[in-house]
Every structure is written in C-alpha cells, then in structure tokens.
Amino acid sequence: MVDQIEDLTPNPRILPMLGEINLAPWKCVAELIDNSVDAFLHEPTTSPRPTIWVTLPMVDEESARIQVRDNGPGMAPDTLATAVKAGWSGNDPISSLGLFGMGFNIATARLGIVTSVWTTRPDDGEWTGLRIDFSELIRQKHYQTPRLRRPKDDPAESGTEIIVERVKQEHRAWFSKAYNRSNLRKDLARTYSSMLRDGGDLISFKLLVDGNTVVGQQHCVWSGDDGKGRQVQLGQEWLNAVQTIDASMASRPYCIECWEWLAADDDACPRCESADGVRQRERRIHGWVGIQRYLSNTNHGIDLIRHGRKIELLNRDLFMWEQDGFVEEEYPIDDPRHRGRIVGEIHLDHCRVPYTKDRFDRTDPAWAEMLQSVRGEGPLRPEKARQLGYAENSSPLYGLYQVFRRSSPKPKVAGSYAKLLIVPDNDRATEMATRFYAGEFAYMTDSKWYELVSEADKDLLRGSESPTSPEDDKDDELLGGLGGGDQEHEHEEEEPIDSPPVYVRDPIASLSLSYNEQALGNVWDVEAYRAESDDPELLGQPWRMKREAATGLWTFLVDTDHPVFRSYTLTPTDALLSDLAHNAVSFAPRSSEVPFATVLAELRSRYSTGSRLDPGELTARASLLLGDIARRFAGSADAQDNEAYFAELTLSEQEHILSMAASRSPENPTGVSAVVGGGRFLEFAGGPTLLRFFESHPELFFDGRQWNRAYSTIDFGSGRATGEARESLVSYYSGLLKDIVWLAERDTTDLETARRQRLLRAALALELLDVDMVPDA
C-alpha cells in the first residue's frame, strides 16, 4: 500500500560538492574540450576547420575567468537545458569523450562557482545560454535557472561557449603562474596529439590556448625518408620499424543506460532488466607500435587512446609478463641504464574508463583482447616462451621485441648498428629529438639519425680491416696488381698525366654539430671530415680546424689513421674539443681569467660522454651480460643433463639457487623444479658460480653456443698440443669473465674509489666478450 509519494530530487548542495572530487586543473580544462570534440564528431560543422579556443586567467584576481569556445554545430535550446543537468550523459556514452554529463559537472564545479554555457546553430538568430550559480541554487533550494539570450555578431556563426567565473582562489593562483600554463599546454598537446595533426584520427581540429596554437606532440620514430618506416632484415623477411595494428572483434550488445557490455547472447540488460537500451556495438583495436630514434628512461611506452583522446600516456603494462599472479618486466631488461625506445598508439574505444579518464578498466574483457592483439600470448622473450611451450608468436610487439630489444649490438660487427637501428651516442640522438619535437624541418625525417648509424657501422668495418702486409705487396708485384698487368697498363693510359689528385673526404656525422660552451660564451658550427694523410689542407698534421670566412662555419679535418690516435688517451673527439677550447681561450677578452682547462673540461662533460667510465653503468652492463649468458644456457640441454649439471654444484650453491628461484615465484612451487630441469639454474646462481661452471664445462659455451669460437674442433694433430690450445682459449675467456664478475659483485660506491686502470680493464673485458658473441636468435 502506498500512501504518499516522496520527492527525491537531490539538494542543490550536491552540485558544488562535485567540486571536491580531485581533478587536476588541466584535466578540468580537457573535460570542457572533450565536449567540443564530441560536437565535431557527432554532427558536421559548416566551419572550414574545427577549432577550439581556450582562454585562461593570467593574474590572480577575482575577475579571473576560464573560457572554452568552439565553432561546432551548436545545440538546440532544449538540448542545452538537458546537457547541463547533473549526471546526464547523452544517449551514446560508449562512442563519445564527454557529451557534458558528469565530466562537465565535476570540471566546472572544481574550477569555479558560476558557469555559463552559450550555444548557437547556423540558422539561429541569437545565442542561447544558461547560467549555473552554485551559491544562488543553494540559496533558492531548487535547480531552476532562467534561459538567457544574446545577439550574434555574425548570423552564420555556430558553436558552444563555456565560461567559468568566480574561479576558486587556489585555481586562480595556479593559472596565474606561467610555468603552470606552459605545462597545461604540453599536457593538452600530448593528450590530443592524435587529433591535432593533419589527417588526425577521427577528426583533425585546431586548438588555441591564450591565442597560441597547440601543436600535438608526435612520436620521434624511425620513419625513413618516405615516412613509412625503416626496415631491417629478420631471417628471410623484412621487418618495418613501425608496425600497424588493426583487429576487428565480433560485435557485442551494450546497454547505453547502465554503461555495461553484455554477454554475446544477452537480449536484455541483466542490471536494468530492459532491452530498450541494448545496442550492438562494433569493437575494433587499431593503432601502431614502433621504435623511437633515441633511448630514454622515461619517454617510452604505449599511448592508450579512447575516441582520439589519450587516456594513458607511455603505458608499460604491455611490457610485463604475468603468470600465476607473478608479474615480471620484460622490457627494457637489456639496457644497463634501463632505457627503452618502444613506443606506440593503441585505440581502444570500446573499453571502459572512469570519470577521471586516467586509466582503462583492466577488468573489462576488452583489455585482455587488446593485450592478445598487440603482444600475443605468452612471454615476449623467445627463450622463455619456448620453455613454457607457447606456439609461435606473430604479434606486432613480439616482432619488434625480437629485433630491437637491445640498446647495443651483440656482437659488434659491421652492419650491426643498422640492423638494430641504434645511434651509439644516445646523448646526440636525444638532442636531435629535442629539435624534432620543436618542429625543426631538417629533423622531421630520420636521415640525420641514420647518418650516425651508418657512420658507426663504417667505423666497425674500418676496424675489422687488416693493413696490407709486405708479403701481400710482393704478391701484387708478381701478379702485376690485382687486375693483372695488362689491365693496370690500360688504366694508366686512360688517366690524363696532368690530372690533379682527388682527395677523398668522408663526412663524420657524429662530430658535425653546433658546439657551445658557457664559460666564455662561444658557439661553433662544425662540419667534420675524415681526410687522407696527404690532404694538402691538413698541412701534414694529424688534424686541423679552420673557419670559412664567408659562412662562419668551422671545418674540422682529421686523419683518423694517424698513429697518434692508436692510443687510449686521444680520440678524434678529444682533438676537436681541444682545438675548440684553445680557440675560446685565445680569443677571450684580456680581462678574462677563464683557463684552458676549465673550458676543455666543460666541453668534454657535454660532448664526450661516451668515453666516461661510469661505475654505475659498468656494474649494470656486467650484470646484464652475466644474466644474458645464463639465459642463453637455458634450453641448450635436455632435462636429464641439466639435472646432472645441477648436481655437480656445491650444496650451498644449490640451496642458494633454489632459494632465489622460490622467492622469485612464491605462488608457483612447481616452477622451482622446472628451474633445474629447464636449465635455468644459472640465472639464479650468481657470477662466481657461473664462472666456475664455465671453467668446468667450456664445451657448453663455445662452438656457436655463446661465442663463435671453435673449441671442440680444435685439432693440432697431437693430444698435448690440442689440449694446450683449448686450455689457452678457456683461460682467456675465464680472465674476461672474472673481470665481469668483479664488476657485477661490487657496489657502485666501491667502484667510485677504484683505480682508473682497473675500471678500464673491466670495461674492455665487456667489449671483448661482445666481439664473438652469438647474435640473438
């Protein structure tokens, strides 16, 4: 029996309470921008270019206000009245960014006390508006507010304008700081970057903040001169450094009233028990993953996008492998500084996000489908996937991981830098990326990065060339030269006798840049070239730098084959920096007291970082190398042999290994036994145990297993000679491994006080072990 109907309309105090929800100021502005984007998406505009104007307070005063205006299609007056109601979200929440609703209410209540919304359509004769004054609503104890009107300056104009007044004092103070407004523009540039570029996803619109155009920050990936991506060879196929993703899923029913995906066979929503709001929705995952032109500790990961807006920036969940509740990072694990370069953009429009729009719902089935499409099933590490019995993985991220996971070639042989698409001097690569982000035309393609890659490979090739021996010269004389006597004679007749000599100069991209030092305020624009020893402009010197009067450019010529460079203490970089420092001091004002040493030290600290003996990096590199050797060993023998190898270890070594394995995977006790049979026990053993195991079983490490050095096939015709040769080989590699273990076992603070010669020896051991390392499968 019902004897009375109660009015449950919420008290007007509920609206200002929404402002207590913690939402960053830039996200509040983004919420208002979302509504404009939705207007562009859902109804075509008559304007030639969709545009959104944002005006922010620049001073902390009571008259401050925030304005967001667009040139979209506008709304009918009745639609406007519905749009600003608390909790309204339109009739299509799954395919929209904002559509006013809760986001609008939270953002405006967070920013200020009074909000006005004005809108007009092309055929309307005036602007129609509503004013939401929280203090007035509370005073009058109801939600009623009058409809407002104002004339149009241009009868053809259309759009919507949101004005927030009586901005809260903490936000006035925040917006008044130029630093905060600058960061807000950067946040918006990243968030809407997929729609701020020409030919953007869904739409392309223009965004202006305080009159300044916001340029979407794009990813600095290996694009090739044609913009389609560089390619490297993977087996018999070619792999593009940018992999596209486009996977369509079966459509599923969705309840637009409850905002819930339903089971495939549901005709009605289980929550509201209605079929009226159930719609079949298409589901599609699309985007790309690719390789950045530089390494970074922070700037790598996948941007996750919903309807053009980036919800999660540089997310790294796709680089994690989870099994039995244990989460393990898979990338970046091969770089001593933990730097990565895999980036991408994935559109996941049909996955739920909270009202804060800062994270996709990991419990939504759409999230698991996305993981499957982008990274496939199983681990990214091929050796791990094989051990666990996963089938071949053909996902885009898996392909990139196989080729580009490393930050340094293993082994370093001619062509290895191009196969890895890695610039050896990452500081230089990063500095060029700064110019890319600034929009400098010369840095928009990857040509300048590829010049550095090619130069590094040339240096490796040059280093592998052996000088011609006197015996070779005698052979050439007997044969009349490489082409035979007659051909050489014909060549001499063809060449004019009085032709001037041609001096070959090979550009050195790694040294050709703008150098500047702050002590005396000098800037040098340098073009560097590798010259032959008889180049007349070298004047018989190992190197020479000269200034071109007409252009102001400096030319640096260097004979890299000169004996002076066959040392640990002088490189062409050192020669160049020394000349620059000398030039700076020589032309300094007489009153200057800045010494040569100060200028040179500053230049070296900025432009010679590659030769620095960094204890922290050396320790990390040593640990990575030992771990790499241990991982390569796993799976090289069958379970019975692995158990026998494990049994050879001391009892304390076995206990340590099992203890470490158990702590790594406490919820998977069966994995401990797999560590032994699967040959993974060296991964948990530590450096000293791995070294001792190598000395006991060198045959498991040579002959293409770890290093491309023959061991079992060494044969000098006598047992004693063959044994001595093998023993010498093992002794050599054992010595290198001891240096690596010494590095890995030391604390970084201990290495800070180590002698330079000791660190240099260990650093060289790292390089020498790389020389014959078997390439990654």
Whole-Å CA distances, 336 to 25, 340, 344, 580, 621 = 37, 11, 23, 32, 5
Whether residues 116 and 43 fall in one domain: yes
Query: Residue 10 — pLDDT band, cuts 50, 70, 90?
Result: low
Whether residues 294 and 378 fall in one domain: yes
94: CATH:
3.30.565.10
Query: Residue 345 — pLDDT band, cuts 50, 70, 90?
Result: very high
Please report the pLDDT score of residue 331 as a whole number.
94
Distance CA(744)–CA(751), nearest Å, equals 10
Whether residues 628 and 549 fall in one domain: no
Q: Helix, strand or coil for residue 358? A: coil
Choose the final residue of a domain: 184, 213, 242: 213
- Read off the pLDDT of each residue in 589-598 and give the average, rounded to a whole number: 88
Query: Residue 777 — pLDDT band, cuts 50, 70, 90?
Result: low
Please report the pLDDT score of residue 704 as a whole number.
87
Whether residues 173 and 258 fall in one domain: no
* Average pLDDT over the chain, rounded to an integer: 84
Pick 383 or 227 by higher pLDDT: 383
- Read off the pLDDT of each residue in 402-422 and give the average, rounded to a whole number: 89
The DSSP output letter for 341 is: E
307, part of any domain: yes
Most confident of the following: 99-103, 263-267, 558-562: 558-562
Whether residues 547 and 634 fall in one domain: no
Please report the pLDDT score of residue 139 as a whole number.
78
Distance CA(37)–CA(629), nearest Å, equals 52
Structure confidence by residue, pLDDT tens digits, 130-165: 888 877 777 776 667 888 999 988 888 899 999 999
Please report the pLDDT score of residue 189 as a whole number.
94
Please report the pLDDT score of residue 491 as a whole number.
44
Please report the pLDDT score of residue 463 as a whole number.
66
The DSSP output letter for 499 is: P
- Read off the pLDDT of each residue in 553-579 and give the average, rounded to a whole number: 90
Query: Residue 382 — pLDDT band, cuts 50, 70, 90?
Result: confident
Of the candidates 426, 445, 407, 408, the one whose C-alpha atom is nearest the C-alpha of residue 222 is 445
Q: Helix, strand or coil for residue 60? A: coil
478 pLDDT above the threshold of 90: no
Whether residues 245 and 208 fall in one domain: no
Structure confidence by residue, pLDDT tens digits, 691-726: 999 999 999 999 888 888 899 998 888 888 999 999
Place of tokens 């066979």: 265
Distance CA(283)–CA(262), nearest Å, equals 13
116, part of any domain: yes
390, part of any domain: yes
CA atoms within 13 A on the CB side of 651: 0
Choose the final residue of a domain: 346, 380, 406: 406
414, part of any domain: no
377 pLDDT above the threshold of 70: yes
Whether residues 647 and 584 fall in one domain: no
- Read off the pLDDT of each residue in 755-776 and give the average, rounded to a whole number: 84
Cβ(706)–Cβ(690) below 8 Å: no
Our count of domains for the chain comes to 4
Sequence-distant (6+) residues with CB within 8 A of 267 are: 253, 275, 278
DSSP string of 267-315, one letter each residue = SS-TTT--STTEEEEEEEEEEEEEEEEEEESSS-EEEEEETTEEEEEEE
Percent of the chain with pLDDT over 90: 43
Any long-range contacts for 537-541 (C-beta under 8 Å, 24+ apart)? none
Whether residues 203 and 257 fall in one domain: no
Sequence-distant (6+) residues with CB within 8 A of 357 are: 27, 30, 31, 103, 306, 309, 311
Please report the pLDDT score of residue 252 as a whole number.
79
Phi, psi of 561 (to 5 degrees): -90, 0
- Read off the pLDDT of each residue in 174-182 and give the average, rounded to a whole number: 94
Amino acid at 138: I
27, part of any domain: yes
Query: Residue 268 — pLDDT band, cuts 50, 70, 90?
Result: confident
479, part of any domain: no
Of the candidates 735, 766, 756, the one whose C-alpha atom is nearest the C-alpha of residue 619 is 766
Distance CA(690)–CA(233), nearest Å, equals 33
Distance CA(560)–CA(331), nearest Å, equals 37
- Read off the pLDDT of each residue in 239-263 and give the average, rounded to a whole number: 82
Pick 557 or 746 by higher pLDDT: 557
Please report the pLDDT score of residue 479 as a whole number.
34
Place of tokens 């967070």: 110
Distance CA(345)–CA(330), nearest Å, equals 19
Whether the full predicted model's pTM is greater than 0.75, yes or no, is yes
Total length of the chain: 777
Structure confidence by residue, pLDDT tens digits, 49-65: 899 999 999 999 999 99
Q: Could you tell me where the beta strands, DSSP code E, fall in 689-737?
A: none
569 pLDDT above the threshold of 80: no
542 pLDDT above the threshold of 60: yes
Please report the pLDDT score of residue 449 as a whole number.
95
Whether residues 24 and 131 fall in one domain: yes
DSSP string of 72-115, one letter each residue = S----HHHHHHHTSTT---S-GGG-S--SHHHHHHHHHHHEEEE
480, part of any domain: no
Of the candidates 686, 687, 688, 656, the one whose C-alpha atom is nearest the C-alpha of residue 672 is 656
Please report the pLDDT score of residue 154 as a whole number.
87
Q: Helix, strand or coil for residue 429? A: helix
Of the candidates 412, 384, 404, the one whose C-alpha atom is nearest the C-alpha of residue 335 is 404
Query: Residue 68 — pLDDT band, cuts 50, 70, 90?
Result: very high
Choose the final residue of a domain: 608, 632, 659: 608
Of 432-446, 627-641, 685-699, 700-714, the range with the lowest mean pLDDT is 627-641
Distance CA(412)–CA(416), nearest Å, equals 6
| Domain that includes residue 87, residue range | 14-213
Whether residues 627 and 552 fall in one domain: no
Place of tokens 């407004």: 181
Cβ(412)–Cβ(708) below 8 Å: no
- Read off the pLDDT of each residue in 314-336 and give the average, rounded to a whole number: 89
Distance CA(598)–CA(1), nearest Å, equals 93
Whether residues 657 and 594 fall in one domain: no
Query: Residue 502 — pLDDT band, cuts 50, 70, 90?
Result: low
Q: Helix, strand or coil for residue 571? A: coil
Instruction: Count the Cβ atoms, other than its own, within 10 Å of residue 507.
Output: 13
Please report the pLDDT score of residue 18 as a whole number.
61
* Token code pair at residue 603: 């230049």
Of 42-51, 69-78, 281-290, 752-761, the range with the lowest mean pLDDT is 42-51
DSSP string of 201-239, one letter each residue = SS---EEEETTEEPPP----B---TTSS--EEEETTEEE
Query: Residue 79 — pLDDT band, cuts 50, 70, 90?
Result: confident
Strand pairing category for 159-167 and 231-234: unpaired
79, part of any domain: yes
Whether residues 527 and 662 fall in one domain: no
